[in-house]
């Protein structure tokens, strides 16, 4: 940049400063108009800044809500009412072999259905009372066994050995017209 160009730019800046500040090149009324427009421009700029800040803040708040709501919904799921099931059909007795077992869904609860050598049916809750593992019937041992921690139950659901603290819940089994029906036991009050 040459000296003459530099000097020309300095003169432009000085004339602008005089116009804004009410220097010798502008009259008093022009200076007041300029200061009013400058003040109005500053007020408009603050209003725009406030609007943009609220827009950004609202967007961040919306994003934060869209993140937190699913996390909280996952951590505190709504309670789901379980259907009140009193009995369930487990199949045909003629198709069930002696000395065999089957897991039957009783609502949300698994039930272990046994058919003993004698042909008698028995049903127990299929979750171990120790840590809720699924139990299974071992025909070679002739009892119910939990594979998680080697818990053993007899054929009446009583805990025999291992860590299970209590017996398995007992369900009622009825055979009606060759249909096996497992139901909740009637509780005597």
Question: Could you give the angle at the alpha carbon of 90 between the alpha carbons of 141 and 125, nearest 5°?
Answer: 50
Contact 124, 169 (CB under 8 A): yes
Does 98 score more than 50 pLDDT? yes
Distance CA 171, CA 113 (A): 9
CA distances from 84 to 3, 124, 161, 162 (A): 96, 18, 33, 33
Name the residue ranges covered by the structural domains of the chain: 3-75, 87-183
Q: Topology of domain 87-183, per CATH?
A: Rieske Iron-sulfur Protein (2.102.10)
The percent of residues above 90 in pLDDT, for the chain, comes to 17
pLDDT at 189: 41
Average pLDDT of the chain?
A: 80
pLDDT at 63: 92
Distance CA 137, CA 101 (A): 6
Does 17 score more than 70 pLDDT? no
Distance CA 92, CA 72 (A): 46
Instruction: Summarize pLDDT for 152-169 with one digit per residue, the tens.
Output: 999 888 888 888 899 999
The stretches of 76-164 forming alpha helices (DSSP H) are: none
Distance CA 101, CA 142 (A): 11
Q: Is 157 exposed, middle or buried (0-12, 13-18, 19+ CB in 10 A)?
A: buried
């Amino acid at each position: 940049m040459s000296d003459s160009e530099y000097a020309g730019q300095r003169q432009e800046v000085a004339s602008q400063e005089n116009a804004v500040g009410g220097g010798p090149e502008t009259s008093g009324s022009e200076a007041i108009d300029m200061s009013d427009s400058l003040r109005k421009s500053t007020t408009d700029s603050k209003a725009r800044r406030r609007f943009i800040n609220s827009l950004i803040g609202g967007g961040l708040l919306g994003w934060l809500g869209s993140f937190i709501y699913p996390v909280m919904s996952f951590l505190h799921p709504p309670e789901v009412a379980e259907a009140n099931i009193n009995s369930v059909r487990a199949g045909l007795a003629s198709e069930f072999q002696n000395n065999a077992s089957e897991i039957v869904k009783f609502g949300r609860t698994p039930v272990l259905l046994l058919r003993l050598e004698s042909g008698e049916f028995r049903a127990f809750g299929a979750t171990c009372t120790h840590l809720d593992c699924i139990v299974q019937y071992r025909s070679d041992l002739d009892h119910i066994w939990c594979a998680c921690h080697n818990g053993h139950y007899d054929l009446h659901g009583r805990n025999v050995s291992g860590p299970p603290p209590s017996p398995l819940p007992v369900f009622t089994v009825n055979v009606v017209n060759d249909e096996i029906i497992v139901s909740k036991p009637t509780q005597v009050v």
